[in-house]
Amino acid sequence: MGAIQIDGPASYGYDIDLGTFPISDWYYNTADNLLSRVFDPANPFVAGLPGSPPPSDNILFNGTNVDPYGNGTGNYAKVSFCPGKRHRLRLINTSADNTFTVSIVGHPMTVIATDFVPVQPYPVKSVYMTVGQRYDVVIDADQPVGTYWLNVTFSKTGVCGSSTNPYPAAIVQYDGAPWWKPSYDGVPPEESYCEDDIRPVPVVTKVAPGASFINGNVNLNQTNALNVTLAVNTSVSKVFWQVNSHAINVNWDKPTLEYLLEGGGTAGFAPDSNVIEIPDKSQVWCPSQASRFICLYFHLY
Protein backbone atom coordinates (compact mmCIF):
# COMPACT_ATOMS: atom_id res chain seq x y z
CA MET A 1 0.00 0.00 0.00
CA GLY A 2 1.05 3.59 -0.35
CA ALA A 3 -0.20 6.86 1.07
CA ILE A 4 -1.16 9.91 -0.97
CA GLN A 5 -0.31 13.27 0.56
CA ILE A 6 -2.82 16.03 -0.16
CA ASP A 7 -1.57 19.52 0.63
CA GLY A 8 -4.02 22.18 1.72
CA PRO A 9 -4.35 25.03 4.18
CA ALA A 10 -3.02 24.37 7.68
CA SER A 11 -4.47 25.81 10.87
CA TYR A 12 -1.09 25.96 12.61
CA GLY A 13 2.41 26.94 11.50
CA TYR A 14 5.29 24.48 11.24
CA ASP A 15 8.82 24.32 9.82
CA ILE A 16 9.22 20.80 8.42
CA ASP A 17 6.63 18.52 6.80
CA LEU A 18 7.61 14.90 7.53
CA GLY A 19 4.87 13.61 5.23
CA THR A 20 2.63 10.60 5.74
CA PHE A 21 3.32 7.95 8.38
CA PRO A 22 1.04 4.89 8.00
CA ILE A 23 0.73 2.50 10.95
CA SER A 24 -0.79 -0.93 10.28
CA ASP A 25 -1.47 -4.31 11.82
CA TRP A 26 0.24 -7.40 10.33
CA TYR A 27 -0.83 -11.06 10.48
CA TYR A 28 1.12 -14.23 9.74
CA ASN A 29 -2.01 -16.38 9.41
CA THR A 30 -4.24 -16.30 6.33
CA ALA A 31 -7.38 -14.17 6.14
CA ASP A 32 -9.56 -17.28 5.61
CA ASN A 33 -8.25 -19.00 8.76
CA LEU A 34 -8.63 -15.88 10.86
CA LEU A 35 -12.16 -15.25 9.61
CA SER A 36 -13.18 -18.84 10.26
CA ARG A 37 -12.24 -18.48 13.92
CA VAL A 38 -13.91 -15.06 14.22
CA PHE A 39 -17.17 -16.71 13.10
CA ASP A 40 -16.76 -19.60 15.58
CA PRO A 41 -18.64 -18.66 18.79
CA ALA A 42 -17.06 -21.60 20.64
CA ASN A 43 -13.48 -20.38 20.14
CA PRO A 44 -13.33 -16.58 20.23
CA PHE A 45 -10.03 -14.71 20.18
CA VAL A 46 -11.12 -12.88 23.33
CA ALA A 47 -12.65 -15.16 25.98
CA GLY A 48 -16.35 -14.49 26.44
CA LEU A 49 -16.56 -12.19 23.40
CA PRO A 50 -17.68 -14.17 20.31
CA GLY A 51 -16.80 -12.40 17.07
CA SER A 52 -13.88 -10.51 18.62
CA PRO A 53 -11.02 -9.59 16.27
CA PRO A 54 -7.75 -11.56 16.27
CA PRO A 55 -4.61 -10.10 17.80
CA SER A 56 -2.13 -8.93 15.18
CA ASP A 57 1.30 -10.57 15.09
CA ASN A 58 2.98 -7.22 14.66
CA ILE A 59 2.45 -3.52 14.06
CA LEU A 60 4.25 -1.97 11.09
CA PHE A 61 5.36 1.66 11.10
CA ASN A 62 5.72 2.97 7.56
CA GLY A 63 5.90 -0.67 6.45
CA THR A 64 8.56 -2.00 8.80
CA ASN A 65 9.31 -3.20 12.33
CA VAL A 66 11.52 -5.67 14.16
CA ASP A 67 10.29 -9.25 14.57
CA PRO A 68 8.55 -9.36 17.98
CA TYR A 69 9.38 -13.06 18.43
CA GLY A 70 13.09 -12.45 18.88
CA ASN A 71 14.37 -13.80 15.58
CA GLY A 72 16.63 -10.81 15.07
CA THR A 73 15.04 -9.81 11.78
CA GLY A 74 13.44 -6.56 10.67
CA ASN A 75 14.19 -2.94 11.49
CA TYR A 76 12.62 -0.16 13.50
CA ALA A 77 11.09 2.64 11.46
CA LYS A 78 12.80 5.99 11.98
CA VAL A 79 11.36 9.51 12.17
CA SER A 80 13.96 12.28 11.97
CA PHE A 81 13.65 15.51 14.00
CA CYS A 82 15.67 18.68 13.46
CA PRO A 83 16.49 20.23 16.86
CA GLY A 84 14.56 23.42 17.57
CA LYS A 85 12.19 22.98 14.64
CA ARG A 86 8.43 22.32 14.53
CA HIS A 87 7.42 19.21 12.55
CA ARG A 88 4.17 18.14 10.91
CA LEU A 89 3.50 14.38 10.91
CA ARG A 90 0.53 12.93 9.02
CA LEU A 91 -0.51 9.80 10.94
CA ILE A 92 -2.70 7.21 9.18
CA ASN A 93 -4.12 4.02 10.68
CA THR A 94 -4.09 1.64 7.70
CA SER A 95 -4.96 -1.44 9.80
CA ALA A 96 -7.49 -4.12 8.97
CA ASP A 97 -8.69 -4.54 12.57
CA ASN A 98 -6.46 -2.77 15.09
CA THR A 99 -7.23 0.53 16.74
CA PHE A 100 -4.61 2.03 19.03
CA THR A 101 -3.20 5.08 20.77
CA VAL A 102 -0.10 6.81 19.35
CA SER A 103 2.29 8.80 21.54
CA ILE A 104 5.90 10.03 21.48
CA VAL A 105 7.90 9.84 24.70
CA GLY A 106 8.61 13.34 26.03
CA HIS A 107 6.86 15.08 23.15
CA PRO A 108 3.29 16.43 23.38
CA MET A 109 1.53 17.05 20.07
CA THR A 110 -0.85 19.61 18.61
CA VAL A 111 -3.67 18.26 16.43
CA ILE A 112 -4.24 20.46 13.36
CA ALA A 113 -6.31 18.21 11.07
CA THR A 114 -8.49 15.11 11.25
CA ASP A 115 -9.34 13.12 8.12
CA PHE A 116 -8.17 15.92 5.78
CA VAL A 117 -10.25 18.53 7.62
CA PRO A 118 -8.28 21.44 9.16
CA VAL A 119 -9.36 21.90 12.78
CA GLN A 120 -8.78 24.47 15.48
CA PRO A 121 -5.39 23.46 16.97
CA TYR A 122 -5.53 21.74 20.36
CA PRO A 123 -2.78 20.10 22.48
CA VAL A 124 -2.71 16.37 23.22
CA LYS A 125 -0.33 13.89 24.83
CA SER A 126 -1.55 11.10 22.54
CA VAL A 127 -4.10 10.36 19.79
CA TYR A 128 -6.45 7.39 19.62
CA MET A 129 -6.83 6.15 16.02
CA THR A 130 -9.57 3.91 14.66
CA VAL A 131 -9.22 1.93 11.43
CA GLY A 132 -8.75 4.29 8.49
CA GLN A 133 -8.50 7.38 10.68
CA ARG A 134 -6.00 10.17 9.99
CA TYR A 135 -4.52 12.78 12.31
CA ASP A 136 -2.17 15.57 11.29
CA VAL A 137 -0.12 16.54 14.34
CA VAL A 138 2.59 19.14 14.96
CA ILE A 139 5.51 18.32 17.28
CA ASP A 140 8.17 20.67 18.64
CA ALA A 141 11.67 19.14 18.67
CA ASP A 142 12.55 20.87 21.94
CA GLN A 143 14.00 17.95 23.92
CA PRO A 144 17.70 17.02 24.37
CA VAL A 145 19.27 15.57 21.22
CA GLY A 146 18.80 11.81 21.35
CA THR A 147 16.39 9.00 20.42
CA TYR A 148 12.81 8.60 21.68
CA TRP A 149 10.16 5.89 21.32
CA LEU A 150 7.09 6.50 19.17
CA ASN A 151 4.72 4.06 20.87
CA VAL A 152 1.50 2.30 19.93
CA THR A 153 -0.64 1.29 22.91
CA PHE A 154 -3.79 -0.82 22.92
CA SER A 155 -6.91 -0.38 25.01
CA LYS A 156 -7.03 -2.76 27.97
CA THR A 157 -10.65 -3.55 27.12
CA GLY A 158 -9.44 -5.93 24.39
CA VAL A 159 -12.48 -5.38 22.18
CA CYS A 160 -11.04 -2.87 19.70
CA GLY A 161 -7.77 -4.46 18.76
CA SER A 162 -4.74 -6.14 20.29
CA SER A 163 -1.37 -7.53 19.28
CA THR A 164 0.97 -10.31 20.38
CA ASN A 165 3.73 -7.72 20.06
CA PRO A 166 3.55 -6.25 23.60
CA TYR A 167 5.35 -2.98 22.80
CA PRO A 168 4.97 -1.91 19.15
CA ALA A 169 7.14 1.12 18.47
CA ALA A 170 9.17 3.18 16.03
CA ILE A 171 12.09 5.48 16.90
CA VAL A 172 12.31 9.27 16.73
CA GLN A 173 15.92 10.31 16.16
CA TYR A 174 17.19 13.88 16.48
CA ASP A 175 19.69 14.96 13.85
CA GLY A 176 23.16 14.46 15.33
CA ALA A 177 22.11 11.71 17.75
CA PRO A 178 23.63 8.20 17.53
CA TRP A 179 21.27 5.51 16.20
CA TRP A 180 20.39 3.33 19.16
CA LYS A 181 17.34 2.11 21.04
CA PRO A 182 15.94 4.68 23.47
CA SER A 183 16.58 3.87 27.12
CA TYR A 184 13.29 5.25 28.51
CA ASP A 185 10.00 3.55 27.63
CA GLY A 186 7.84 6.45 28.72
CA VAL A 187 4.57 6.58 30.67
CA PRO A 188 1.57 4.68 29.22
CA PRO A 189 -0.97 7.09 27.69
CA GLU A 190 -4.44 7.61 29.07
CA GLU A 191 -6.81 4.67 28.49
CA SER A 192 -8.87 5.29 25.35
CA TYR A 193 -11.76 2.91 26.13
CA CYS A 194 -12.06 2.65 22.31
CA GLU A 195 -13.73 6.07 22.18
CA ASP A 196 -13.23 8.68 19.48
CA ASP A 197 -11.90 12.10 20.39
CA ILE A 198 -14.80 14.55 20.11
CA ARG A 199 -12.74 17.69 20.65
CA PRO A 200 -11.85 18.57 17.03
CA VAL A 201 -13.64 21.69 15.78
CA PRO A 202 -13.42 22.33 12.01
CA VAL A 203 -11.96 25.65 10.95
CA VAL A 204 -14.79 25.87 8.40
CA THR A 205 -18.01 24.33 9.68
CA LYS A 206 -20.67 22.95 7.33
CA VAL A 207 -24.04 21.68 8.50
CA ALA A 208 -27.12 20.13 6.92
CA PRO A 209 -30.14 22.50 6.58
CA GLY A 210 -31.73 22.77 9.99
CA ALA A 211 -35.21 23.30 8.58
CA SER A 212 -35.40 19.59 7.74
CA PHE A 213 -35.30 18.61 11.41
CA ILE A 214 -37.54 19.10 14.42
CA ASN A 215 -35.87 19.09 17.85
CA GLY A 216 -32.99 16.99 16.53
CA ASN A 217 -35.29 14.30 15.13
CA VAL A 218 -36.31 13.54 11.59
CA ASN A 219 -39.05 15.72 10.15
CA LEU A 220 -42.60 14.54 10.81
CA ASN A 221 -42.77 13.60 7.15
CA GLN A 222 -41.67 9.99 7.60
CA THR A 223 -41.20 9.26 3.90
CA ASN A 224 -37.50 10.01 4.30
CA ALA A 225 -36.98 7.99 7.51
CA LEU A 226 -34.66 4.98 7.44
CA ASN A 227 -35.48 2.23 9.93
CA VAL A 228 -32.12 1.09 11.37
CA THR A 229 -31.85 -1.97 13.62
CA LEU A 230 -29.11 -4.23 14.93
CA ALA A 231 -29.27 -8.01 14.44
CA VAL A 232 -26.92 -10.62 15.90
CA ASN A 233 -26.50 -14.12 14.47
CA THR A 234 -25.10 -16.04 17.44
CA SER A 235 -24.54 -19.25 15.49
CA VAL A 236 -21.76 -17.65 13.43
CA SER A 237 -20.91 -14.63 15.61
CA LYS A 238 -21.98 -12.08 13.03
CA VAL A 239 -23.47 -8.65 13.67
CA PHE A 240 -25.67 -7.02 11.05
CA TRP A 241 -26.70 -3.38 10.77
CA GLN A 242 -30.08 -3.51 9.06
CA VAL A 243 -31.52 -0.60 7.11
CA ASN A 244 -35.23 -0.99 6.32
CA SER A 245 -35.05 -4.63 7.56
CA HIS A 246 -32.07 -5.58 5.36
CA ALA A 247 -28.34 -5.73 6.01
CA ILE A 248 -26.48 -4.74 2.87
CA ASN A 249 -25.14 -7.66 0.83
CA VAL A 250 -22.81 -6.58 -1.95
CA ASN A 251 -22.72 -8.88 -4.94
CA TRP A 252 -19.31 -8.25 -6.47
CA ASP A 253 -20.28 -10.20 -9.61
CA LYS A 254 -23.07 -7.71 -10.34
CA PRO A 255 -21.81 -4.17 -11.00
CA THR A 256 -24.25 -1.33 -10.43
CA LEU A 257 -24.57 -0.51 -14.14
CA GLU A 258 -25.43 -4.12 -14.93
CA TYR A 259 -28.27 -4.05 -12.40
CA LEU A 260 -29.61 -0.87 -13.94
CA LEU A 261 -29.46 -2.21 -17.49
CA GLU A 262 -31.14 -5.52 -16.65
CA GLY A 263 -33.81 -4.11 -14.35
CA GLY A 264 -34.64 -0.93 -16.19
CA GLY A 265 -33.88 1.18 -13.12
CA THR A 266 -33.61 0.74 -9.38
CA ALA A 267 -36.28 -1.97 -9.48
CA GLY A 268 -33.60 -4.40 -10.66
CA PHE A 269 -31.77 -4.31 -7.35
CA ALA A 270 -32.38 -6.98 -4.72
CA PRO A 271 -33.85 -5.77 -1.39
CA ASP A 272 -30.58 -6.47 0.43
CA SER A 273 -28.77 -4.08 -1.91
CA ASN A 274 -30.33 -1.31 0.21
CA VAL A 275 -30.75 1.07 -2.69
CA ILE A 276 -32.43 4.36 -1.79
CA GLU A 277 -33.96 6.39 -4.59
CA ILE A 278 -33.83 10.17 -4.09
CA PRO A 279 -36.82 11.76 -5.85
CA ASP A 280 -35.99 15.41 -5.17
CA LYS A 281 -32.92 17.55 -5.74
CA SER A 282 -32.24 18.26 -2.08
CA GLN A 283 -33.40 15.94 0.63
CA VAL A 284 -32.39 14.78 4.09
CA TRP A 285 -32.51 11.09 4.95
CA CYS A 286 -32.25 9.94 8.55
CA PRO A 287 -32.60 6.75 10.56
CA SER A 288 -35.79 6.55 12.58
CA GLN A 289 -33.81 7.49 15.70
CA ALA A 290 -32.03 10.48 14.22
CA SER A 291 -30.71 11.71 17.54
CA ARG A 292 -28.52 8.61 17.77
CA PHE A 293 -27.33 8.43 14.17
CA ILE A 294 -25.87 10.62 11.46
CA CYS A 295 -28.29 11.95 8.87
CA LEU A 296 -27.47 12.03 5.17
CA TYR A 297 -28.01 15.19 3.18
CA PHE A 298 -28.22 14.79 -0.60
CA HIS A 299 -28.00 17.72 -2.96
CA LEU A 300 -28.31 16.62 -6.57
CA TYR A 301 -27.62 18.89 -9.53
- Label residues 73-103 b or e (16+ Cβ within 10 Å = b): eeebbebebeeeebbbbbbbbbbebbbbbbb
Q: Running DSSP on this structure, what letter comes out for residue 38?
A: H
- The answer to whether the beta carbons of residues 27 and 54 sit under 8 Å apart is yes
Pick 16-174's CATH classification: 3.40.50.300, 1.10.3720.10, 1.20.1630.10, 2.60.40.420.
2.60.40.420
Residue span(s) of the chain under CATH 2.60.40.420 come to 16-174
Percent of the chain with pLDDT over 70: 86
The 10s digit of each residue's pLDDT in 67-90 is 988 888 999 999 999 999 999 999
SS3 282: strand
Query: What integer pLDDT is reported at residue 209 of this predicted model?
Result: 65
- pTM metric for this prediction: 0.80
SS3 241: strand
Environment class of residue 126 by beta-carbon count within 10 Å: exposed (0-12), middle (13-18) or buried (19+)?
buried
Q: Phi then psi for 233, rounded to 5 degrees? A: -100, 100
Average pLDDT score over the chain: 86
Mean pLDDT of 240-266: 81
How far is CA 201 from each of CA 10, 64, 96, 193, rounded to the nearest angstrom? 14, 33, 27, 22
Q: Cα angle vertex 26, ends 23, 32, to 5°? A: 135
The 10s digit of each residue's pLDDT in 99-134 is 999 999 999 999 999 998 999 999 999 999 999 999
Query: What integer pLDDT is reported at residue 177 of this predicted model?
Result: 97
Query: What integer pLDDT is reported at residue 72 of this predicted model?
Result: 83
Residue 220 has pLDDT above 50, yes or no: no
- The answer to whether the beta carbons of residues 136 and 119 sit under 8 Å apart is no
Pairwise CA distance, residues 202 & 173, whole Å: 32
Q: Which helix (H) or strand (E) holds 263?
A: helix 256-263
- The answer to whether the beta carbons of residues 103 and 125 sit under 8 Å apart is yes
